Amino acid sequence: MKKLILDVDTGVDDAQGIMVALAADDVQILGITCCHGNTSLENVLRNTLRVLKVCNRLEIPVYRGNSEPLLAKRTHAGDFHGKDGLGDVPDEDAPGLELLQEEGAVQAMIRIANENPGEVTVVATAPLTNLAVAAKVDPSFPAKLKALHIMGGNTESRGNTTVCGEFNFVADSEAAYVVLDRYTCPTYIATWEFSCTNSLPWSFCDTWLAQDTPKARFMERVSSHTRKMVQTERYQKELIGEPGFNTCDVYAIAAAIDDRVVTEHEEVAVTVELAGTYTRGMMVLDHLDLLKKKHKVFILKKIDKDRFQRLLMNALK
């Protein structure tokens, strides 16, 4: 049984990823920790509970994390995900925030890792503020994890938020720096370029969202704004390869729940640019080991597309 903590900033692709994890066999979600990011922390908390409600999984504990980055100004991605993070679709029945745990996200992560040493995998699909703070509060925390999966960063200086910066690493660049420096557990990164190369074909999306289930109807509604945005020239220009729907966070979550979904990695030392005028937040790859970092990460390179699509399909059943 895989034991996971999901660290999220629930916008549309986080919601898809959470649903994929909830539907997976042999996966236990020990908690969902929330962070600022795609939208405000309050919206992220509400969105996370909405996803759990539609999946009848409100028993999974949800924790309040950091509402702002370590140093940077807050950045949200409302244009893309909708201001509320889930397409601005009214939801009269959204669960109330009284369902949240009282314990904070950072404390919960540290406690859960202490209770399950060497067994917990964290999947971070948000800015990395919660994880950076956890490593500062308890420097022994990173080594207690089984693995860390991150959606963020880039390999070819392609940006989606700034010229060279991917959203999660731009939204809290200092946190990304701390995490890549301190987390010495096996670390896997689903980068922006990886997502852009593996977008979901529109024909798949149509079938996926047309399933006659409450989960598919929910995803169809909350992703409608984002799907329209993705089809505009501005967003299709970002893609490498075939046109389609770029479900960034799902790659990181799929890689964590199914060891066979990613078929090729590149092992390399990485860090984050914190100073550049155009490059702040860009992930930097040290192919020549000039930085003499002891720890290397695994960058996702190839995916078994059929297997990936089966996970997605199953998530909305």
- How many angstroms from the chain centroid is the CA of residue 145? 17
Smallest CA-to-CA distance from 230 within 111, 88, 17, 81 is with 81
Question: What single string gives the DSSP state of each residue in 94-136?
Answer: PPPGGGS-SSBHHHHHHHHHHHSTTTEEEEE-S-SHHHHHHHH
Nearer of residues 13 and 258 to ligand BDR, judged by Cβ: 13
Closer to ligand BDR by Cβ: residue 11 or 61: 11
The answer to whether residue 167 forms part of the interface with ligand BDR (CB under 6 A) is yes
User: Do strands 283-286 and 262-272 pair parallel, antiparallel, or not at all (unpaired)?
Assistant: antiparallel
Pairing relationship of beta strands 187-190 and 297-303 according to DSSP bridges: parallel
The reply on whether position 39 binds ligand BDR by CB under 6 A is: no
Which range binds ligand BDR by CB under 6 A, 65-73, 90-98, 162-170, 222-230?
A: 162-170
DSSP letter (8 states) at residue 27 = E
| 125 lines the binding site for ligand BDR (CB under 6 A) | yes
Q: Per rule CB under 6 A, is residue 43 in the interface with ligand BDR? A: no
**With helix as H, strand as E and coil as C, how does 154-220 read?**
CCCCCCCCCCCCCHHHHHCHHHHHHHHHHCCCCEEEECHHHHHHCCECHHHHHHHHCCCCHHHHHHH
Site membership for ligand BDR, residue 124 (CB under 6 A): no
Minimum CB–partner distance for residue 77 and ligand BDR (Å): 4
Q: Give the residue with the Cβ less far from ligand BDR, 127 or 142.
A: 127
Rule CB under 6 A: say whether 11 interacts with ligand BDR.
yes
Q: Would you count residue 47 as binding ligand BDR (CB under 6 A)?
A: no
209 to 248: interface string for ligand BDR, x by CB under 6 A: ---------------------------------------x
Please state the φ and ψ torsions of residue 16, each to the nearest 5 degrees: -65, -40
Residue with tokens 């990613």: 262
Residue from 166, 172, 193, 273 binding ligand BDR (CB under 6 A): 166
Query: Can you give the binding site for ligand BDR, defined by CB under 6 A?
Result: 11, 13-14, 38, 77, 80, 125, 151, 160, 166-168, 192, 248-249
